Structure 1
Amino acid sequence: MSPRAAGLAALLTACLGAVGPAIAQQKPRQGEVPAPAELPVPSLRDMMITTPTPSGVPNAPEAKKAPEPPVDPNADLAYGAFQRGHYIAAMAEARKRVEGRRLDPAAMTLIGKLYADGLGVGRNEAEAARWFERAASLGDREAMFALGLARLQGVGGEKDPKEAADWFEKAGEIGQSEALYNLGVMRLQGENGRPDFKGAAEAFKAAGDAGQADAQYAYAALLKEGRGVDKNVEESVRWLARAAAQDQIAALVEYGIARFNGSGVEKDEADAARLFERAAERGNAIAQNRLARLYAYGRGVGRDPARAAAWHRMARAQGLSDAWLEGFVQTLSEADQAKADELSKRWEARLGPLPAAEAAVVGSGSPAPKP
């Protein structure tokens, strides 16, 4: 789970509130899955979609690579070289297209990206920002997105959150869905700790309509609580389903819970188990814990004590304890214990060790994200 996704889930929980005990602390009633544990308020940096930030920049947000510039039909040589990793050639070709007074926003955006990332040229954030400004003024949405990030982070110039939001909004108006998502996050964070739920809902919905999975998950959360939009549990679940279809891990877990409980959607324990398994196989500890309980109970899947134990161990290795499952595992036969050992080794070999940052998972009942 990326810090961005974990941060988004934490912000939503902090803004919307959370009720009920953490899942691992008590055995759920039959047919019910416990509600989420409270998560701390994250910093804005944990939620934004960003370009890679340069080393040596104080307080630079953690990086998530932004989409590569789209291939312009009139920029085959420059973008072709860029996509093949021939950055010096890409810079040379892009510069040819902006010689004199020629206005070529796609080439300007590419030059800005090369300077921002130090590809084929020395890294120079101020120069990158100047190229992004030129391209953005000519209507290039990727340049607007990049410039919004630069203003938000104070890279290549002064920090200016208001200008950042303006650029994200302008980019979103011409189809840059990641910019709309970032705008939603900024509005949800709000000024002086006061969220703009209505503005956030509008931005997340627009980004979600364009297919942005994290925005779909965020909009689902706002719909569920009726913040910034009329409360509609059934519509919330439909948005969760859209995000889950793109393997947004928090949505997989939340939609799985809805399917298991029949909350806002037809009850289907087998589908819930499949959703939990998809998230569990991507390293989500809360999904691993849910799946372990389903195998222990035989709900939605055939009862399989060994698989229950193996998934419990995977979740426990990430710091998610469960006293009930711990006691359940102690009752297993030697044969089931041996099978669980074999399954655990096989899954660990396939999934690989999880980095420390990914031990902080999201979803209902998940432990708090780690810094």
Structure 2
Amino acid sequence: LKLRPLSAIRADAEKGDAFALYLLALAHWDGVGGAAKDIELSAALLRRSVARGSGRAAGALGFYLCCDAVGPKNEKEAVEWFRVGSWLKFAGATRNLGISYRDGAGVKKDLKEAVRLLELSASQGSTRAWSDIGWLYNNNEHGLRDKVKARGYFQKAVDGGDLSAFMPLATGYWYGITPDGSDKDPRKALEILVRGGTAGCGECWYNAGLLFGSGDLGAVDEALAYNAFMKGAELGDPSAMLEAARKLGGGKGVAKNPAAAFALYERAATAGSVEAKGSVGLMLARGEGVTRDPARAAAILREILARDVSADPKLRHAIYQPNYWGYARDLGLLLEQQLVPQRSATELVELRKRYGARDGSMKRFTVPIDCAGIKSPFHVYVVNWDRPNDETAVDPQAEWLQQERGCTVPADVIDSFRKLKKIARENNVSFVDLTVYALGAAQQEQAAKPQQPAKQAPQPAAPKPQQNKPLAPVDPTKAKQPVGA
């Protein structure tokens, strides 16, 4: 439609040209190029295109029936159209047929057939199909976990130019694919991330920045981390923008520039980063890099904090839990200083009850986590707050980890924090102080028994929380759903 006027496409369609019928169908599907939006007409045109041999049209028709927001939702019929498209050798239709078998959507679930079809799709030209198979073996959602096979398929996808495969391939080298991570190769991971970033993967540059700043390559290099984040930002990656802004705001790896940091936070927020929007609110509240604006700051901080009480985990966990505490602290200061009015007589009281005192103590502990079979350490933070059912600050962090990273904190570890919270409440003592004391005592007890294997218990660490979102230990993306035409 960008190269030819709709009238020319319509004229060819009237002559029975299969591709023109397909293009005309898409124009009416989306209502673009001067065509009226008409889903039923679009479906009819797709059927005519299929009748003239267009596998692409068959794939689009299948997608319309299975997955389009305004489609009739007939997965069984969608499968048949995907089958027709596959028979006509259209890779996209074959891929979606394989995904249908993988998920049991419109057809009986058959993983062996799913793999066969996805491999066929790859041979027909879909490099994304190699990634789909990689995810089948990488995760254990379907009981096929085989990290070695997954790596092989991700490598094929990368070699074929599929940008989505660079991240899982690099992650496997960064953290290793053996349960103990003994085979990890961060330098190989960096090589893959740079290659992906150069090919246009903004998320790759973001993770390259995290790798430079992790110390896994040896000495931490803040300057290289900042440069990588900026490259990701230039490609439009919101997380890269967020981290580059943090570097500018803190003067790490680059000269401190709060004004530039604020501008980049705003860009990241516009691109969809909720955490960046929170940072905009914090800077407006403090007057850092921008003229102080308590009213606008309070509006943003309240909007972000509302997510933390949402019943939708996707909304709630778009923010890493400890960041909510910072938003609550600054909103509380604005309310205490009467720079903005309270929405209710109890707003400040409820805020402190939910998130703890603004000058309260915070401690960091390291706990073991499991990410798709890979064991690794993870930092959690605890504060004193007054929530019901002995919920500790570790609970929402564990939920975030599960929701956003697919990783789990052992149930006994979470339970140990809850028990300490209950003891602290019953004895009217600081939960944070009790936790430090109890876990310190546990460490000493273990040190006195070196012959026994160390238990996986939280270990006290530095009290200051990190600003960065925690590093993704494994697969930063999930398997893709059926795709459109």
Aligned with 1:79 (options 52, 59, 66): 59
Alpha carbons 1:297, 1:303 under 8 Å: kept: yes
- Taking a change above 3 Å as real, the CA distance of residues 316 and 77 of structure 1, as seen in their structure-2 partners, is closer
Q: Specify which structure has the higher proportion of strand.
A: 2
Q: CA deviation at 1:177?
A: 1.6
Aligned to 1:284: 274
2:118 is equivalent to residue 114 of structure 1 = no
Which residue is equivalent to 1:126? Answer: 112
Q: Give the equivalent residue in structure 1 for 2:300.
A: 311
**Could you tell me which residue of structure 1 aligns to residue 137 of structure 2?**
151
TM-score when scaled to structure 1? 0.61
Give the distance between the partners of 1:340 and 1:360, measured in 2 at CA: 32
Q: Determine which structure has greater relative contact order: mean sequence separation of CA pairs < 8 Å that are 6+ residues apart, divided by chain length.
A: 1
Aligned-partner residue type, residue 193 of structure 1: G
- TM-score (norm: length of structure 2): 0.48
Work out the percentage of aligned pairs sharing the same amino acid.
24
Contact 2:335 2:342 in 1 (8 A): no
CA contact (8 A) 2:55 2:86 kept: no
- For residue 128 of structure 2, the aligned residue among 139, 142, 147 is 142
Per-residue deviation at 1:288? 4.6
Q: C-alpha displacement at 1:209, in angstroms?
A: 1.9
Equivalent of residue 193 in structure 1, options 151, 158, 181: 181
CA–CA distance in 1 between the matches of 2:262 and 2:343?
Answer: 21
Alpha-carbon distance in structure 1 between the residues aligned to 2:239 and 2:260? 16
- Which whole-Å CA distance do the structure 2 matches of 1:340 and 1:170 have between them? 58
Partner of 2:431: none
8 Å Cα contact 1:361-1:368 kept in structure 2: no
Q: Equivalent of 1:222, from 211, 216, 222?
A: 211
CA 249–300 in structure 1, closer or farther in 2 if over 3 Å, else same: same
Q: CA deviation at 1:264?
A: 3.1
Distance 1:167 1:273, change over 3 A: same
The CA distance in 1 between the partners of 2:218 and 2:207, in whole Å, is 12
Is it true that 1:91 corresponds to 2:82 in the alignment?
yes
Q: Deviations over 1:313-346 (max 9, x none)?
A: 345443522446523431124xx327999xxxxx
Q: Partner of 1:293 in structure 2?
A: 282
Superposed CA deviations along residues 272-296 of structure 1, whole A, max 9, x for unmatched, are 11332344564634x3553333223
SS of residue paired to 2:325 = coil
Task: Identify the residue that residue 325 of structure 2 maps to in structure 1.
Answer: 321
1:163 CA drift (Å): 0.9
Q: Distance in 1 between matches of 2:216 and 2:233?
A: 21
Runs of at least 5 residues in structure 1 that lack an aligned partner in the other structure: 1-72, 99-103, 342-355
User: Cα gap change, 1:77/1:217 in structure 2, threshold over 3 Å: closer, same or farther?
Assistant: same
| Pairs aligned (count) | 276
**Do the aligned residues in 2 keep the contact of 1:77 with 1:93 (CA within 8 Å)?**
no
CA RMSD of aligned residues (A): 3.9
Q: How does 1:240-251 map to 2 (within 5 A)?
A: 240-251=229-240
1:182 has 2:168 as partner: yes
Structure 2, unpaired ranges of 5+: 1-52, 67-77, 309-320, 346-398, 406-464, 472-485
Question: Aligned to 1:173, which of 159, 166, 179?
Answer: 159
